[in-house]
Structure formats: C-alpha cells, structure tokens
Chain A
Amino acid sequence: NAGVTQTPKFQVLKTGQSMTLQCAQDMNHNSMYWYRQDPGMGLRLIYYSASEGTTDKGEVPNGYNVSRLNKREFSLRLESAAPSQTSVYFCASSEDRVSGYTFGSGTRLTVV
C-alpha cells in the first residue's frame, strides 16, 4: 500500500525559478490537500480539492497554483519561487470530511 506519494523529496531552487510538486494517492480518496509546515507555525493549508474537478484556496494560497489532474493526482506549482516559500510541503488526502487525513512524506524545498 503506497498511500500518498510525493515527489521530489528534496529540491533547491533559485529565486524566480518555477517548479511543480507532484502528489498521487492510491486509496480512491475524493479530497486532496496541500499544506506547508514551517517551524513554530504548525501546518497551514495552501489549496485543497474537495473532489475531482474542483479546487479551492486555503489560508496561504498566494504564490501557488494547483491542478487536480484526475482523482489520483493533485499537483502544486510555484510559478516564481521566493525565499519565503522555503518550507516543507505535505500533500494529504481524505475519504470524507471527517475521518482525518493520510499524509505523504513531504517535500523539503529550499529557495535561495
């Protein structure tokens, strides 16, 4: 059981570069999420997709875009990376609104 798979695990970008973080789940979950984790700030929701074909902004969407490619895949794009986007990014999925998340193992992104 793979669960939620994120790629890459590590990435270093220069300011202004773009990249896409990939996420795929094999549990047939309807909802998928992107969070960032910063020291002392817990997890903050960037974007989520309640179901295939829909996406919505979370707490901190500025500087990011997402695509729900199909039921399995939900990608996060940084169009022009900034040092403030240095963080650990987690993708998660859930079967419904209440039973909690399954998280991926994260992508550690550094923007220099």
Chain B
Amino acid sequence: GEDVEQSLFLSVREGDSSVINCTYTDSSSTYLYWYKQEPGAGLQLLTYIFSNMDMKQDQRLTVLLNKKDKHLSLRIADTQTGDSAIYFCAEKWDSGTYKYIFGTGTRLKVLA
C-alpha cells in the first residue's frame, strides 16, 4: 500500500532535542526524504537517506532509518524557535519512477 504516517503535532522547549517520526508501508521504497515548510512558503528539502543506510547526520539533523519496522525519524538537536514549521517525510519507490508519497506533516512548535 501507499501510506506515509506522521503524528500531527510536536511541542518542545528551545534548546531541547526534537524527534519527528514517520512510518511508511511500502518496503520497496528506496529513498526517504525530510522537508520543512514554513508558513506561507513552499517545502524546503532538508535531507534524504538511501534505504541501504541506517543513519545520516548533517549538522544539527540526524536521520535514523529502521527498515525492519519501516520507521524513519528526524532528530533536531538544540532546537531553536526558527525550527518551528511543518515537517514532511516522503518516500520514493525504485529509481525508475518519479512518484513520491508524502506524509501529512508534523507541526513542530518550539517554546521559548
């Protein structure tokens, strides 16, 4: 099936770590992505991970992939008020297709 699920809301205090979770159902997904959407703007690609990787780190962002459980997470270290946004995960099937499936997004609110 084609379904990417995310929790709707997450609230954290400034300086804490945020963990945004995503589950996907299609085991043939080969690329998984995280996007950030600020109010009134389009989505901005943050990072992506290939399905043959377990972890990817990029400055304050850490992506963890558990292929057995079809679970993807995005950890933001030292969360700042500027990180408040909606975060979308997306999966892509094999490299022969242009089809991406997006989750419904997690709204992150950072409290000062």
B25 to chain A, nearest CB (A): 14
Interface string of B31-57 (1 = CB under 8 A from A): 101010000111111001000000000
Measured between alpha carbons, how far is A42 from B44 in the docked complex, in Å? Answer: 15
Residue of A nearest to B94 (CB): A97
Contact at A42–B102, with CB atoms within 8 Å? Answer: yes
Residues of B within 8 A of A33 (CB): 98
Query: Does B109 have its Cβ within 8 Å of any Cβ on chain A?
Result: no
Query: Does B97 have its Cβ within 8 Å of any Cβ on chain A?
Result: yes
Q: A43-B88, A48-B98 are in contact. List 12 more A-B contacts (CB 8 A).
A: A33-B98, A45-B100, A56-B98, A58-B99, A92-B42, A98-B48, A99-B48, A100-B35, A105-B41, A105-B42, A106-B41, A106-B42
Contact at B42–A41, with CB atoms within 8 Å? Answer: no
Contact at B43–A45, with CB atoms within 8 Å? Answer: no
Interface string of B58-69 (1 = CB under 8 A from A): 000000000000
Interface string of A74-112 (1 = CB under 8 A from B): 000000000000000010100001111111111000000
Taking beta carbons and an 8 Å cutoff, which residues of B are in contact with A?
4, 31, 33, 35, 40-45, 48, 88, 92, 95-100, 102-105
A103 touching B42 in the complex, CB below 8 Å, given contacts A42-B88, A42-B105 = yes
A90 touching B92 in the complex, CB below 8 Å, given contacts A98-B31, A100-B33, A100-B48 = no
Residues of A within 8 A of B42 (CB): 4, 90, 92, 103-106
Contact at B95–A101, with CB atoms within 8 Å? Answer: no
Query: Does A40 have its Cβ within 8 Å of any Cβ on chain B?
Result: yes
A101 touching B104 in the complex, CB below 8 Å, given contacts A42-B4, A45-B99, A48-B98 = no
